[in-house]
Amino acid sequence: GAVVSQHPSWVICKSGTSVKIECRSLDFQATTMFWYRQFPKQSLMLMATSNEGSKATYEQGVEKDKFLINHASLTLSTLTVTSAHPEDSSFYICSALLNRVDEQYFGPGTRLTVT
Amino acid sequence: GQQVMQIPQYQHVQEGEDFTTYCNSSTTLSNIQWYKQRPGGHPVFLIQLVKSGEVKKQKRLTFQFGEAKKNSSLHITATQTTDVGTYFCAGRGTNAGKSTFGDGTTLTVKP
């Protein structure tokens, strides 16, 4: 149990376009999901906390207008990278909080490359 | 803000040797979690520690949470090549629902 999926697993887009990444908890409901960004050989950097039915909480330095987060249901959160630039190229990982045991389960990640 | 430091950054061991990674938080934690990330993969949850002084074991892995709930360690006995990867700790502060990740310790095992 406690499986989290992400779609797409990788995407290549042109500079200036927008990309949407989906994060789904497949076998449990998650009122809270997290979005992380990971650069090569580095740790996970929390970008924002996504709460079902309310606005996301962004970490300091993360542009909320650039990284749009929507958590419209208990099993789905989306991250949209708007007007993508090459410096947005990264590995984006989501996680869902399994409330009853207070554990985070991670999705497989999405590799974004902006050309 | 809360900072979580992990040492060492890298560890190279011979197969069969033991391995330990340490995690230290600047603030008291409500819990700490450990994850393993294989090269090219995503973090996989290993364990969560909640109680002061808690010790948990998973086969060859031993996890400890300090008495002050500000530090933790992961010890692997008799490493195997399947243990390679980066081990992250993530500490959850007492007032926040989020966890702060350490920089990870990358373990390589020479057969």
Cα of B78 to nearest chain A Cα, Å? 25
Predicted pLDDT of residue A20: 97
From chain A, pick out residues whose CB is under 8 angstroms from the CB of B98.
34, 46, 49
Nearest chain A residue to B90, by CA:
A44
Predicted pLDDT of residue A92: 95
Asked if B48 contacts A103 with a C-beta cutoff of 8 angstroms, the reply is: yes
Q: What is the CA radius of gyration of chain B?
A: 13
Residue B77: other Cβ atoms inside 10 A: 14
Residue A58: other Cβ atoms inside 10 A: 18
For chain B, give the mean pLDDT: 93
Predicted pLDDT of residue A104: 80
Task: Name the token pair of B26.
Answer: 């600047």
CA–CA distance, B29 with A60 (Å, rounded to integer):
21
Count of CB contacts below 8 A, A vs B? Answer: 44
Residue B60 DSSP label = T
CA–CA distance, A20 with A67 (Å, rounded to integer):
10
Closest partner CB to A43 (pick from B44, B48, B101): B101
Predicted pLDDT of residue A1: 66
3-state SS class at A87? helix
Q: Tell me whether residues B102 and A43 touch, CB distance under 8 A.
A: yes
Asked if B35 contacts B52 with a C-beta cutoff of 8 angstroms, the reply is: no
Q: Which parts of chain B sit beneath pLDDT 50? A: none
pLDDT along chain A (115 residues), means of 10: 90 97 94 91 89 89 94 93 95 87 84 95
Q: What are phi and psi of A12, to 5 degrees?
A: -120, 130
Q: Tell me whether residues A106 and B101 touch, CB distance under 8 A.
A: no
